[in-house]
Amino acid sequence: MTKPFFALTPLMAALLLAAAGPVGASSHREAPFITTSPKVDASDFYMFRSYEAGRSDYVTLIANYQPLQDAYGGPNYFAMDPNALYEIHVDNNGDAKEDLTFQFRFTNTLANAGAGVTLPIGGKNVAIPLVQAGQVANVRDASLNLAERFSLTVVRGDRRTGTASMATNASGGATQFDKPVDNIGVKTIPDYAGYAAKHIHTVNIPGCAMPAKVFVGQRQDPFAVNLGTIFDLVNAPVNVITNPALINAAPNTIGDKNVTALALEVHKSCLTNGDDVIGGWTSASLRQARLLNPMPPSGHQASEKPGGAWVQVSRLGMPLVNEVVIGLKDKDKFNASVPGGDGQFIDYVTNPTLPALLEIALALPNIAPTNFPRNDLVTTFLTGITGVNKPKNVVGAEMLRLNTAIPAVPFAQQNRLGIVGNILAGGSDNAGYPNGRRPKDDVVDISLVAVMGGLCVANGTTNALGFGTDCTPAKVPLGATAFSLHDAVDQAVVPLLSGFPYLNTPLPGSK
């Protein structure tokens, strides 16, 4: 095996990892404004062929919000924002515009018609201060003081002017769906896995002949990263983070955090339109205006009154893009943008700055790839890979792209490095990142390979995958050794479920 990076210093390793490493999970607290609105902060987006037994004709889409949740975060925990609009978008003809949008809206109401659960105290009925008054086991449990519900609207065409219809519960036709309360602890909810499973809803999607599934609720954060070490200029031995045998040498520093997942499982025939490749991304929007009441009345979340048009404040498709590709001055701008306008950000992809910053910081010329424009990154992040997940007709834009014709691979056989793993091992798992994204895919390590030119070099001289022709060592000097880089945390060992909603039961507030 080629000996990796003889001259790699800790600072060099830090910058290399920063070039593809996340902030929190693959995308939270990634832009200045979003740090002020954590309830609409998207952390991760997944889109993959379902690998649960008997469900391989379905596609699972998962959008995670509200990252870095401490399980003990009471007494209010992490209800979703009823004044926000959460969306998952699908482009099924390659034109960088949404053709199908799944919109989630939330309502959080107190029990007893808004009065809340009360207890008789000294002859008076007094509202309790907690979201629960006793043990919880069932949907709409009488012990719950706060009822969390959501609606699912399906929009065909433009997300604001297209044709909108409500998804309905396959059992009874209701348009409101119950969300489980967060995992308060084992005394309040002794069997959280069983309780949460009762909130997996089978739904009818307008215009789709096959029933879908939907689940919204707290999950254990499925992302793995050596977070503190990365922030501290990769405070780890270089011989560890460049040794592929030590991919699990450090603990997952966000392994004790939860997130809130918006999960859908939709038959692939309901997502495609003459092309097996679909694109997907998630966004969140807030009303343009907000009035704060200096003397709010009694009632849940009565302190503000929003109004005006929807304004998008969060956007996430491919992981890591806004963190480490988009310049700081444009991070809020990117979060407010749509894929069809990504031409304004093209220089960040074709001429990325972080490799150049690496050379300046280390005074080591000729370290970064110089195959400008970086068509290998354009292919990976903007158009899809030829023969894998590139649409028949494509407008370059940043989003996850999934070829729904590529069969799902059972969890045990999935290569944590996805297509990169295929290149290294000569395998047949093309169902992983950057062809969509599965929870097991180690996007930090895969992105390290991409940003340092590894995919370009592996493409060879044939350009069969569309990564550009000039992938020689003179232009991509560290391309081959990029395959050795990792963050010392193994994504593949994160606990996950074998079926929908795939993400693990959230950690409890007490054990």
Task: Please enumerate, as own/partner, the contacts of 162-165 that have beta carbons within 8 Å and a separation of 24 or more.
Answer: 162/101, 164/103, 165/206, 165/207
**Domain for residue 184, yes or no?**
yes
Q: Residue written as tokens 């983070």?
A: 241
CA distance 171 to 343: 45
**Domain for residue 97, yes or no?**
yes
The whole-model pTM stands at: 0.92
Say which residues have a Cβ less than 8 Å from residue 79's Cβ, sequence separation at least 6: 106, 108, 146, 148, 182
**Domain for residue 25, yes or no?**
yes
Which among 27, 1, 13 is positioned nearest to 284, based on CA atoms? 27
| Residue 491, strand partner residues | none
pLDDT (0 to 100) of residue 238: 65
**Domain for residue 320, yes or no?**
yes
pLDDT (0 to 100) of residue 415: 92
pLDDT (0 to 100) of residue 21: 35
pLDDT (0 to 100) of residue 470: 80
CA distance 320 to 19: 9
The answer to whether the beta carbons of residues 369 and 478 sit under 8 Å apart is yes
pLDDT (0 to 100) of residue 230: 57
Residue 268's domain spans which residues?
10-493
The total number of structural domains that make up the chain: 1
CA distance 374 to 383: 13
Helix, strand, coil abundance in the chain, percent, nearest 5 = 20, 25, 50
CA distance 224 to 257: 10
- The token pair that represents 470 in the structure block: 């000039």
pLDDT (0 to 100) of residue 14: 35
- What is the rounded (10 degree) CA torsion for 334, 340, 346, 349? 70
The answer to whether the Cα torsion of 261, 175, 105, 109 is positive or negative is negative
**Domain for residue 4, yes or no?**
no
Say which residues have a Cβ less than 8 Å from residue 175's Cβ, sequence separation at least 6: 151, 152, 166, 167, 168, 169
CA distance 313 to 42: 10
pLDDT (0 to 100) of residue 354: 72
Bond before 495 cis per omega within 30 degrees:
no
The answer to whether the beta carbons of residues 164 and 153 sit under 8 Å apart is yes
Angle at 35 between CA 32 and CA 40, to 5 degrees: 120
> What does the pLDDT profile of the chain (511 residues) look like in tens digits?
333 333 333 333 333 333 333 334 455 677 767 878 899 999 999 999 999 999 999 999 999 999 999 999 999 999 999 999 999 999 999 999 999 999 999 999 999 988 899 999 999 999 999 999 999 999 999 999 999 999 999 999 999 999 999 999 999 999 999 999 999 999 999 999 999 999 999 999 999 999 999 999 999 999 998 776 655 645 666 677 778 888 888 889 899 999 999 999 999 999 999 999 999 999 999 999 989 888 888 876 678 889 999 999 999 999 978 877 888 899 899 899 999 999 999 999 999 887 776 566 445 567 788 889 988 899 989 999 988 999 999 999 999 999 999 999 999 999 999 888 877 766 778 999 999 999 999 998 888 888 888 888 776 654 556 676 688 888 888 777 778 877 789 999 999 999 999 999 999 999 8
**Domain for residue 461, yes or no?**
yes
**Domain for residue 1, yes or no?**
no
CA distance 336 to 112: 39
**Domain for residue 173, yes or no?**
yes
Bond before 75 cis per omega within 30 degrees:
yes
- Measured CA to CA in angstroms, residue 306 lies from 110, 301, 433 at distances of 20, 12, 38
